[in-house]
Amino acid sequence: MKRVITYGTFDLIHHGHINILRRAKEYGDYLIVGVSTDEFNAIKGKNAYYPYEERKLILEAIRYVDEVIPESDWGQKVKDIKDYNVDIFVMGSDWEGKFDELAEHCEVVYLPRTEGISSSKIKEDLKDNE
């Protein structure tokens, strides 16, 4: 069984999220999603609309996702790869090159993002429409 892992905040789930999860799942049999905790988002200077537990619940309902784990710091990826016997690490292409060092532990794949959509864009559009 091939295991795939990806990470993100996954706030305001949209079709771009679904696309990347679907394409990540196509690389293996089991997809693990590391979701940024609220505390980790604060360290990154991000503010999610939904708290971690609600984002986790939403992701668990998506058919491509087999398991959701908390992401609480930048350095946990190697440990997760080892602990979950991960074969492939997948991230969006906007992170290209940022995780190449993980290639000594598993295959690293960067997938193109869905054009024209992001949680940040949704938040901006909503603010513009107020």
Active site residue ranges: 44, 46
Residue 58 DSSP SS3: helix
Q: How far is CA 45 from CA 10, 30, 78, in A?
A: 15, 31, 23
Closest by CA position to 90, among listed 119, 41, 80, 15: 80
C-beta separation of 107 from 91 below 8 A? no
Residues with Cβ within 8 Å of residue 69, at least 6 apart in sequence: 32, 33, 34, 35, 80, 84
- Residues 93, 115 contacting (CB under 8 angstroms): no
